[in-house]
Amino acid sequence: MTSGVRLIRNDQLTQQVEYAYAATVDAPVRSIWVAGACPLDLDGKTVAVGDYAGQAHQVMRNLVTALEGAGASLTDIVKTTVYVASTRQADLVTAWEVYREYMGEHDVPSTLLGVTVLGYHDQLVEVEAVAVIAGEGQA
Query: Could you read off the pLDDT of 44-93 as tens digits, one per residue?
Result: 999 999 999 999 999 999 999 999 999 999 999 999 999 999 999 999 99
Mean pLDDT calculated for residue range 88-115: 97
Q: What's the pLDDT at 134?
A: 81
Mean pLDDT, the chain, rounded, equals 91
Question: CA angle, corner 58, sides to 112 and 68, nearest 5?
Answer: 90
Q: What's the pLDDT at 26?
A: 78
